[in-house]
Structure 1
Amino acid sequence: MQKKTFLLAVLSFMILLSGFKSQEPINQSWIRINLLGYMPSGIKIAVWCSKTADIPSQFEIIEQETGQVVYRSSQIEAFGAYGPFKKTARLNFSGFNVKGRFYLRVNNTLSPMVIINDDVYQGTADFCLRYMRQQRSGFNPFLKDSCHTHDGFSLYGEKAGIKDSTHFDASGGWHDASDYLQYGTTSANAAYHLLMAYRDFPKVFGDEKQANGLDGKNGRADVLDEARWGLDWLLKMHPKKNIMFNQLADDRDHSSMRIPKEDNQYGRGFERPLYFITGLPQQRGKFKNNTTGTSSTAAKYSSAFNLGSSLFALQDKAYARTLSEKAKTAYQYALQKPGVTQTASVKSPYIYAEDNWVDDMELAAATQSFTRPNSHTKALKIASFYAEQEKTTPWLLKDTAAHYQYYPFINIGHYELAKQLEGDEKSKILGYYKAGIEQVWARAKKNAFYRGVPFIWCSNNLTVAFAMQCMWYGSLTQDKSYAALEQANLDWILGCNPWGTSMVYGLPSWADTPKDPHSAFTHLKNYPIDGGLVDGPVYTNIYNSLIGIKLAGADEYADFQSDLAVYHDDYGDYSTNEPTMDGTASLIYLLAAKEAEARAKTNQSTSLGAIIRGDSTQKKIALVFTGDEFADGAVQITKTLQKEKVKASFFLTGNFYRKPAFENAIRQLKDDGHYLGAHSNEHLLYCDWKKRDSLLVSKAAFDEDLIKNYEAMARFGIGKKDAKFFLPPYEWYNETIAEWTKAQDLTLVNFTPGTRSNADYTYPEMGKSYRSSDEIYRSIVSYNETKLNGLNGFVLLLHVGTDPNRNDKFYKRLPELIEYLKKEGYEMLRIDNLLR
């Protein structure tokens, strides 16, 4: 649907629904939304924007099918002017969890269609992979033709004994953007994001393409095929241990706009120049870059090779070995001359002026353990050393940067390092993430869009990266303080911005997305560039200073441009509307994370308002221990978990937390990085054993008891934000208890039924209720071997200690149980990571 047709259709619908005259001028107010949609249980925010001085007091949700008002709310947070608008406000409808298609209405202003469903992100990561395939050099599956097959001839390699114009096979890889230059830095970063997306969210991706990108399954996820396309080219860019190239072609490419072919503007037939990494400044024409060393590019290569090797180890051992060896030599190349390698330009002053490199070295060191476990301890120490050199990515602090000055736009090394650390060391690294987020939040909380990312060139890439940083911080700390900020940045990309457009070509297909990007594919042939993330808005003063920009048509967003920032869906604007390969790869990771989140919630099992099982399609499990008056197994359980490198979860009563004899055990569990949660203060029985609906406590008593549980936990530095899951005493509750728990801003959880693990507290004097350790163990094995999906997503509950009358302690068989679960391929996680 064309944009103007869509707006007219919405306006007509608005008039039909509104049985009263307009109370303000037409087209003076707008409602900006995430055009793709919202998850039912997720954060749901729209932004009211007006050129009048009015702020609404209420908004409505109208069901599309019936035209009926189904929700009214006054949850409106007013803000002042922003960009072209005099007044703005955040409309919060997070409490509306009904699935369907709707419109938001404020007075006579109607939003675009609002979709609420669990599947809004389904297939979006694979959709964006289309753009990556379209960017392929060598054989291009979109065109079903080849290009740039003669690359390339070397420059600047004399010190390594390589004469200028020596030929090296460098065909392949990805074109960087709408031109056909190719950079090692952006390609390595893109490959890493694709590999990481597959590693972290493998179930999200499909298999519809062959390795060459043409239709047909090949038994491997398409995202992994795409990542390998990038890795293969990076291997060519590092053919020997003393040879590494940074760049293929240069800005002479910009002499014309064309569909990719065999280019001949470099003076060597169809070959294009390969820029050798020397660690020294390089000059072609009148422009000289500020290269200071070899580290930034070489370290990125090393990281991508390390992660690639670990993921291909089971599929192609020879390839994995090659990647592992190249990771080592690339790392040594990075150490040759610490510093940054910048790109080279001949005719234009615009380059990738990367100015930081210790973040790349941190990631390269942190990934060494992926393929070389023996180097784990040493590698983490080195990574931690580099982490200290740049705690916060500079643009987060400075609120500005030159083009690609601080690249990648997120410090991935902090993420990979923190996952491998424990206790205070892990908290310290995550604190660096928090410090950067806080800097952006200080800016973002002043406007309705929660916009704190600077409008520099490729601002959309920074936006995606920042959303990832918020997401990683939240998942690794379970601190959800920045969840709304994270969502706001994703919403911005998908339409909740002043221009009301998604910044991703064709996503979603039914709404306003770029139609006239700065791309030869669309401009010359009208080929769709599905999934391409465009650069995004820039400061107006930057736009006005750029060379060679001239809009090709009328500005359809003229009403939304301002002295703050501009965005044009116009082929002539290369600064805001050119798609980038590396930005799209980052978006693929973020969209995969959102789809995986939705899938996990959809596949979770609940009972009477409590979550009782995680994603039943994933071989992941949570070992959960509860405790009240006994702790005789604490030491042995702790040592077993340490030896097996397993994280577990402990739900303990206030009685347990306050008992002096248990203090050392609790502190050790916390230091080891296990989840510590609440289990009530005095181990109350909430409801009758036979009549479950009959409550034995009042809400006041429930609240007071739970508050005291958290007060006891506070002595160990554990607050509500650290322990959002609550496991009820006796594992016995009803729907009312679940509602009271939710009112405390907590989530009720319970064990997964089916095994007898929770009976490990019984003893012989209990008669028929007693279960031996053999019987308990057999019940676990039997369930795994006989039930569909086995123990996938299980919350397997045991006890920290048991009555002295039980001599047959099941916790003594914990090593055997963990060995069995590992052999069966289960990953054991903290409960907050299983049920996130």
Structure 2
Amino acid sequence: MKFFLRLLLFIVLCLFTLLAFKPKEQQSWIRINLLGYQPKSIKVAVWASKGTTLPKNFELVEKATGKTVYASSNIKTFGAYGPFASAARLNFSEFKKPGRYYIKVDGVISPEVIIGEEVYQNTADFALRYMRQQRCGYNPFLKDSCHTHDGFVVYGKEGGLKDSTHFDAVGGWHDASDYLQYSTTTANAAYHLLMAYRDFPKAFTDQKLATGLDGKNGVADVLDEARWGLDFMMKMHPSAKIMFNQLADDRDHIAMRIPKEDSQYGKGFERPLYFIDGKPQQRGKFMNDTKGTSSTAAKFTSAFALGSELFYGADVNYAETLRNKAHTAYQYAIQKKGVTQTASVKSPYIYAEDNWVDDMELALASLEFSPKVSDLTKSKKRASSLDSAFFYAKQEPITPWLIADTAKHYQWYPFINLGHYELAKQSAGDRKRALIDYYKQGITHVWNRAKNNAFYRGVPFIWCSNNLTVAFAMQCMWYKQLSGDGAFSELEQANFDWLLGCNPWGTSMVYGLPSWGDTPTDPHSAFTHLGKYPIDGGLVDGPVYTSIYKNLIGIQLTKPDAYAEFQSDLAVYHDDYGDYSTNEPTMDGTASLIYLLAAYDSRTDKEFTSYQKEKGAIIRGDTKEKRLAIVFTGDEYADGGQKIIAALDKEKVKASFFFTGNFYRNTAFASFIKTAKAKGHYLGAHSDQHLLYADWKKRDSLLVTKKQFEDDLNANYKAMEKFGIARKSAKFFLPPFEWYNQAIANWTEDLGLQLINFTPGTRSNADYTYPELGKAYRGSEEIYQSIIDYEKSQGLNGFILLLHVGTDPRRKDKFYDKLPALLKYLKQNGYNAVPVHRLLEK
């Protein structure tokens, strides 16, 4: 009996020991862009935890030496998201030294963090590998041919074609892991490839022949690939009266197989060609919702037009053929205005595109006219096309999913409005501003969702969410490029980083990129599943809402889920061949990614510099740099002039002064103005008569006409000329009362000037108040502390800190007396105070 008691005690002790020394399960992770970061880019990692304790600081540790090279408390904390109870954004943008590091937070170590100028070099060409592998007809990856008998016409009656008539439709790209081919995705993919070469030619090399086999042919590989798509599109639009919307249908999905000849369509090895007749066609047991011919035909127009432009120098005959095709495709688009949807036979799943005016806008913005016509005729036709393009732009200013936060499969396609970008580049004045604002409105809808979680995720988890993510990052990038407003730069970078590992699952969504990181290994692809071939560069569909995943037909995981601890009621992603909803690569999504990768590979210092705007005025400079501008305004008073100059001199700081015409004409202030100019401070305009431009309560209600505004501002600059201050050297204008609206910003732009205003967040602009103003009064100590508090919590990078050069005599507590202490504090904390033109220069 004692023996059994001792044995039982021994077993209990062993179990206790095992439990006591059981490794603690990991509770926190650090997610990064696995591919890396460029030195001057926004660099943010996300700390995510199953617990609720939030980090207070983090370190960047050099991999080779183990030394901490950077430490920061620049952390923005968030609550629960997906599988995590808490999360935080760790911002290390100000660290710029190239090298290999890892981030450390309370003992948690990130994957390797790479910083370097060339982290994205050749990545666009890498993703191009997937496009070549998707080729139909001759496939250079397999060195074999498939689907060489295509195809036979269906629904051809409207075009005077007998069903089963044969047309040569061999070529193009397989759509995804299946082998059917859609005209709409082909045209969009071709356009993105052409656009990528047009905008970023240096991102691409020549390593392949036109066939896709190894060798050089003097043509960038991306143009060879785009031409492969264009050649197929010409077969799908063989004449002015004929256009096909798809080749094959969902009968393709009989089983996974390496591409070959298919015979399941009832006519030997031919596959069906669906004629575009503008009417509903089959969708399983139902009919699709086709209403017209515009959406596909307009996409053909823009791709043909851009191809014509790019190939003109190398192959004039080919370029002319493409130009002619662009015009016949446009005529097909207006044959019956409306959307063309795809068809299916067995399943309900189709590309249920619902919009077409965006395609018409892009088509009209892209149309090229023959060089054989006179310049005057061409100019008139061009102007007419652009006017029509803007008409369509106004029909759908915002791509609907940006607002709705959901969509059917490919319901609004392409996933952003490419036409706004192309039209804005060719526009000016109110039209250009309107197009830019359309982009901003859409981005703002997404940002309002994204700003509430640490991943800045505002893109919905619908089917092909990665395609939407790529497109949305492009819209953010184009908005910044067109407007100069970098307010959404971190949101753009977050979407790019998401694709490459900074997501809840910690995995890149691009097969094989980077080669050393966690990327898809078991995608829903016959190439990998049957042939064990890599599908380098393929962008997989991406996470979906868990509710969508649970209701899809025929999904079953084939192995234990490697990401089980990161799945949630919000969304799922599986690196498993059995999940076609999250892990299937797509041809058109990859083509869009090629554009984005080429853009990031080609970024220059100009792209890294950003400002923030509000109602058209720049209100903050680049937040990646510890630089700020201290600005002083003046109209009636200049009592602080001497003290301000002395304080600036002592700390060797250059400031900016914006004065009214009243101030410049006041002889009592002339000596101070000359001194400020001689010492290298910036001198600018603040209106002539210190007018109030807009109603205080109804900001959009103007109190001046455009002529009054212009006359007043011109008078201000006239007064400045007497001090040798030329308009061209003082293009930044700060509005009187720091009060304005979008109309004022537009009028300023029309004069070739740039409106700026102070950065909100501190009380600095209240240093003019005096006790008799009651609740509006702010003492100097309160103002000073508000600046310090803001600096400690959010930083003053890029700040435009506004003060007054003088105040009403009733204010005895002068804030400029605290300027020496403020300047010393800023310098001690690493800030470099510069004039506004230095802060905001590109």
Q: TM-score, normalised by structure 2?
A: 0.73
Tell me how far apart the structure 2 counterparts of residues 301 and 22 of structure 1 sit (CA, whole Å).
65
Q: Check whether the contact 2:43–2:93 (CA below 8 A) recurs between aligned residues.
A: yes
SS of the equivalent of 2:102 reads strand
2:227 corresponds to which residue? 228
Tell me how far apart the structure 1 counterparts of residues 126 and 710 of structure 2 sit (CA, whole Å).
47
Q: How far did 1:98 drift?
A: 1.2
Q: 1:285 to 1:54 in 2, by over 3 A?
A: closer
Q: Check whether the contact 1:505–1:531 (CA below 8 A) recurs between aligned residues.
A: yes
Q: Check whether the contact 1:78–1:90 (CA below 8 A) recurs between aligned residues.
A: yes
Tell me how far apart the structure 1 counterparts of residues 415 and 522 of structure 2 sit (CA, whole Å).
26
1:27 corresponds to which residue? 26
1:244 corresponds to which residue? 243
1:748 corresponds to which residue? 838
Matched, 1:442 2:448: yes
Tell me how far apart the structure 1 counterparts of residues 69 and 21 of structure 2 sit (CA, whole Å).
22
Tell me how far apart the structure 2 counterparts of residues 708 and 190 of structure 1 sit (CA, whole Å).
42
Tell me how far apart the structure 2 counterparts of residues 541 and 183 of structure 1 sit (CA, whole Å).
28
Consecutive unaligned residues in structure 2, runs of 5 or more:
1-19, 372-377, 609-624, 626-657, 659-680, 690-705, 737-743, 760-797, 801-825
Q: Check whether the contact 2:439–2:475 (CA below 8 A) recurs between aligned residues.
A: yes
Q: Mapping of 1:5-44 within 5 angstroms? A: 25-44=24-43
Tell me how far apart the structure 2 counterparts of residues 681 and 125 of structure 1 sit (CA, whole Å).
55
2:794 corresponds to which residue? none
Tell me how far apart the structure 1 counterparts of residues 77 and 197 of structure 2 sit (CA, whole Å).
40
Q: Check whether the contact 1:533–1:580 (CA below 8 A) recurs between aligned residues.
A: yes
SS of the equivalent of 1:299 reads helix
Q: 1:129 to 1:667 in 2, by over 3 A?
A: farther
Q: Mapping of 1:65-80 within 5 angstroms? A: 65-80=64-79
Tell me how far apart the structure 1 counterparts of residues 447 and 161 of structure 2 sit (CA, whole Å).
50
Tell me how far apart the structure 2 counterparts of residues 536 and 283 of structure 1 sit (CA, whole Å).
28
Q: Mapping of 1:730-769 within 5 angstroms? A: 743=833, 748=838
The one-letter amino acid paired with 1:295 is S
1:427 corresponds to which residue? 433
Matched, 1:716 2:752: no
Tell me how far apart the structure 2 counterparts of residues 417 and 280 of structure 1 sit (CA, whole Å).
30
Q: How far did 1:348 drift?
A: 0.8
Tell me how far apart the structure 2 counterparts of residues 345 and 531 of structure 1 sit (CA, whole Å).
28
2:3 corresponds to which residue? none
Tell me how far apart the structure 2 counterparts of residues 191 and 745 of structure 1 sit (CA, whole Å).
46
Matched, 1:396 2:402: yes
SS of the equivalent of 2:602 reads helix
1:588 corresponds to which residue? 594
Tell me how far apart the structure 1 counterparts of residues 731 and 356 of structure 2 sit (CA, whole Å).
47
Q: Check whether the contact 1:543–1:575 (CA below 8 A) recurs between aligned residues.
A: yes
Q: 1:707 to 1:197 in 2, by over 3 A?
A: closer
Q: 1:682 to 1:153 in 2, by over 3 A?
A: farther
1:477 corresponds to which residue? 483
Q: 1:707 to 1:429 in 2, by over 3 A?
A: closer
Larger radius of gyration: 2
SS of the equivalent of 1:234 reads helix
Q: Mapping of 1:637-786 within 5 angstroms? A: 654=683, 710=734, 716=748, 718-720=754-756, 743=833, 748=838
2:164 corresponds to which residue? 165
Q: How far did 1:25 drift?
A: 3.9
Q: Check whether the contact 2:283–2:347 (CA below 8 A) recurs between aligned residues.
A: no
Q: How far did 1:187 drift?
A: 0.4
Q: Check whether the contact 2:99–2:115 (CA below 8 A) recurs between aligned residues.
A: yes
Q: Mapping of 1:314-333 within 5 angstroms? A: 314-333=313-332
Matched, 1:146 2:182: no
Q: Which of 509, 512, 516 is 1:506 aligned to?
A: 512
Q: How far did 1:748 drift?
A: 3.5
Q: 1:290 to 1:97 in 2, by over 3 A?
A: same
Tell me how far apart the structure 1 counterparts of residues 589 and 757 of structure 2 sit (CA, whole Å).
32
Q: 1:112 to 1:281 in 2, by over 3 A?
A: same
Matched, 1:301 2:300: yes
Q: 1:743 to 1:182 in 2, by over 3 A?
A: farther
Q: Check whether the contact 1:118–1:598 (CA below 8 A) recurs between aligned residues.
A: no
Q: Mapping of 1:113-124 within 5 angstroms? A: 113-124=112-123
Q: Check whether the contact 1:184–1:234 (CA below 8 A) recurs between aligned residues.
A: yes
SS of the equivalent of 1:48 reads strand
The root-mean-square deviation of aligned C-alpha atoms, in Å, is 3.6
Q: 1:683 to 1:39 in 2, by over 3 A?
A: farther
2:98 corresponds to which residue? 99
1:376 corresponds to which residue? 382
Q: 1:438 to 1:52 in 2, by over 3 A?
A: same
Q: How far did 1:376 drift?
A: 1.2
SS of the equivalent of 1:468 reads helix
Q: Check whether the contact 1:654–1:710 (CA below 8 A) recurs between aligned residues.
A: no
Tell me how far apart the structure 1 counterparts of residues 507 and 421 of structure 2 sit (CA, whole Å).
31
Q: Check whether the contact 1:725–1:746 (CA below 8 A) recurs between aligned residues.
A: no
Q: Check whether the contact 1:307–1:370 (CA below 8 A) recurs between aligned residues.
A: no
The one-letter amino acid paired with 2:497 is D
Q: Check whether the contact 1:369–1:379 (CA below 8 A) recurs between aligned residues.
A: no
The one-letter amino acid paired with 1:748 is R
Q: 1:22 to 1:109 in 2, by over 3 A?
A: farther
1:193 corresponds to which residue? 192
2:417 corresponds to which residue? 411
2:581 corresponds to which residue? 575
Q: Which of 457, 464, 475 is 1:458 aligned to?
A: 464
Tell me how far apart the structure 2 counterparts of residues 351 and 486 of structure 1 sit (CA, whole Å).
30
Q: How far did 1:283 drift?
A: 1.7
Identity %: 65
1:756 corresponds to which residue? none
Q: 1:708 to 1:295 in 2, by over 3 A?
A: closer
* Count of residue pairs brought into register by the alignment: 652
Deviations 1:784-813 (A, max 9, x none): xxxxxxxxxxxxxxxxxxxxxxxxxxxxxx
2:570 corresponds to which residue? 564
SS of the equivalent of 2:748 reads coil
Deviations 1:601-640 (A, max 9, x none): 89xxxxxx9xxxxxxxxxxxxxxxxxx9xxxxxxxxxxxx
Tell me how far apart the structure 1 counterparts of residues 156 and 577 of structure 2 sit (CA, whole Å).
38
Tell me how far apart the structure 2 counterparts of residues 42 and 569 of structure 1 sit (CA, whole Å).
30
Q: 1:530 to 1:598 in 2, by over 3 A?
A: farther
Tell me how far apart the structure 1 counterparts of residues 685 and 31 of structure 2 sit (CA, whole Å).
50
Q: Check whether the contact 2:101–2:112 (CA below 8 A) recurs between aligned residues.
A: yes
Q: 1:709 to 1:747 in 2, by over 3 A?
A: closer
Q: TM-score, normalised by structure 1?
A: 0.73
Matched, 1:518 2:524: yes
Tell me how far apart the structure 2 counterparts of residues 98 and 22 of structure 1 sit (CA, whole Å).
41
2:278 corresponds to which residue? 279
Q: How far did 1:327 drift?
A: 0.6
Q: Check whether the contact 1:128–1:531 (CA below 8 A) recurs between aligned residues.
A: yes
Tell me how far apart the structure 2 counterparts of residues 77 and 588 of structure 1 sit (CA, whole Å).
31
SS of the equivalent of 1:72 reads strand
Q: 1:51 to 1:153 in 2, by over 3 A?
A: same
Q: How far did 1:720 drift?
A: 4.0
Tell me how far apart the structure 1 counterparts of residues 344 and 686 of structure 2 sit (CA, whole Å).
64
Q: 1:96 to 1:706 in 2, by over 3 A?
A: farther
The one-letter amino acid paired with 2:231 is D
Q: How far did 1:716 drift?
A: 2.8
Q: How far did 1:451 drift?
A: 0.2
Q: Check whether the contact 1:209–1:217 (CA below 8 A) recurs between aligned residues.
A: yes
2:640 corresponds to which residue? none
Q: Check whether the contact 2:480–2:486 (CA below 8 A) recurs between aligned residues.
A: yes
1:342 corresponds to which residue? 341
1:780 corresponds to which residue? none
SS of the equivalent of 2:29 reads strand
SS of the equivalent of 1:525 reads coil
The one-letter amino acid paired with 2:552 is L
Tell me how far apart the structure 2 counterparts of residues 27 and 371 of structure 1 sit (CA, whole Å).
65
Tell me how far apart the structure 2 counterparts of residues 119 and 683 of structure 1 sit (CA, whole Å).
45
SS of the equivalent of 2:550 reads helix
The one-letter amino acid paired with 1:404 is Y
Q: Check whether the contact 1:533–1:579 (CA below 8 A) recurs between aligned residues.
A: yes
